[in-house]
Amino acid sequence: WVLRDKTYIAASKSIDFPGAPSNPDYIRGLNGPGCMELRPLSSDPDKTEFRWLLNTKLNGWIPSYIADKAYKKFMTKYMVFLREYCKKIKLRASDSSTTPKN
């Protein structure tokens, strides 16, 4: 990841790795170039704009219309879990700032 102008950017892409060669017993999906970007909102510094470019191909026998539905559901659930996680982090941070230090 990289931090530019208060924006975190993480990029990814599948690679071939000699330590994990293809195996005919398994189907290997591919990730094309993709990224996640987190940027604080100028109108509300307690909120963050999240952009996600997902570029993946599952391969195998799954029809593309089914895979597309699964991607949408996965991304939606991911955002729900990410929001919950961020709330927990914020609560922990506020709890630790109010806890007296010895």
For 33-67, how does the pLDDT look when each residue is reduced to its tens digit (9 = 90+)? 999 999 999 999 889 999 999 999 888 888 989 99
- What residue ranges in the chain does DSSP mark as E strands? 2-4, 7-12, 30-31, 34-40, 48-53, 56-57
Query: What pLDDT does residue 98 have?
Result: 66
51 and 100 both lie in a single domain? no
Q: What is the CA radius of gyration of the chain?
A: 19
For the entire predicted model, the pTM comes to: 0.72
DSSP state of 8: E
Residues 23 and 67 in one domain: no
pLDDT at 13: 96
Q: Which residue segment(s) compose the domain that 13 sits in?
A: 1-61
Residue 92 has pLDDT above 70, yes or no: yes
Q: Side chain identity at 49, as an amino acid letter? A: E
Examine the domain organization and report whether 41 and 70 are in the same domain: no
pLDDT of the residue at 44: 95
Count the domains in the chain: 2
Same domain (yes/no): 78, 95:
yes
Contact 54, 29 (CB under 8 A): no
